[in-house]
Homo-oligomer: A and B are copies of this chain.
Amino acid sequence: MTRSDTDANFTPERKRGSGVKMVYDTLRDEILDLVLPPGSPVDEVQLAERFKLSRTPIREALVRLAGEGLIDTLPNRSTMVSNIDFLNLHTYFDALVLMYRVTARLAAEHHRTEDLEVIRARQAEFKAAVEAQDALAMIATNAAFHSAIAEAGRNSYFTGLFNRLLDEGRRILRLYYQSYEDRLPQRFVDEHEEMIAAIAARDLETADRLARTHAEQIVDQIRTLFARKGRLNISL
């Protein structure tokens, strides 16, 4: 389905305001899923004829993507998919660990019963993705799981910041989960279960600690993955 959406969307007539959202969502997914690798040139007229639209809505979508830092646009010059800053990865990981902790802690403090149902549903989806060994689905469901925890924390600023952070790191996580394509990290599923239990028990400290170890473990594995890869090919 995703495949047929991207290349051959032959919808002769679209609803009035849906063009930009369509282009925005499509390009966003393609960038975050590394279909458009970092550094790829983004040509407006090319996109215009691809989506059968004028350049105006294309530009609007590009402006929004630029606002999220997904594309870099040189004034009066070419615009390209933004590069992943591998040098400052640790800053991203620090931020991610902190947000994992804060959201888990707040969820333990402020969640309601209906929140737990949503979280458990997301966890079930994540578990299914892990068992199916579907890397892309693991990324999405894992993000949705932690996003649901953030929602349960009932702080729109943190959820916004956290979702933003998860999106920004989606390309990194994409590389990370790719390396797991064969073996399945069942451990993550178990750790998620523990976090749910701590949140349900309103145990702030345990939720915080679990989120911290969970996050730091992932960060360590990503680090070793990149260290391994870095010796082979520095490029990208």
Which residue numbers of A lie inside 8 Å of B, CB to CB? 16-17, 56, 59-60, 63-64, 67-68, 75-76, 85, 88, 91-92, 94-95, 98, 102, 154-158, 161, 165, 168
Contacts and interface: CB of A to CB of B under 8 A. Distances in A.
Contact of A154 (B91, B92, B168): B91
Contacts of A56: 56
Nearest to A67: B67
Contact of A95 (B59, B64, B67, B155): B155
A75 B165 CA distance: 27
A155 B16 contact: no
State the majority secondary structure of interface residues on A: helix
17 contacts: A16-B76, A17-B75, A59-B60, A63-B64, A63-B67, A64-B67, A91-B154, A91-B156, A92-B157, A94-B157, A94-B158, A95-B155, A95-B161, A98-B102, A157-B165, A157-B168, A161-B161
A117 B51 CA distance: 52
Nearest to A88: B156
Given A60-B60, A95-B158, 5 more contacts: A16-B76, A17-B76, A98-B102, A157-B168, A161-B161
Contacts of A158: 91, 94-95
A91 B162 CA distance: 14
B63 A157 contact: no
Contacts of A17: 75-76
A85 B160 CA distance: 15
Contact of A63 (B63, B75, B88, B95): B63
A68 B17 CA distance: 20
A25 to B, nearest CB: 15
Contacts of A95: 155, 157-158, 161
Contact of A68 (B67, B155, B156, B165): B67
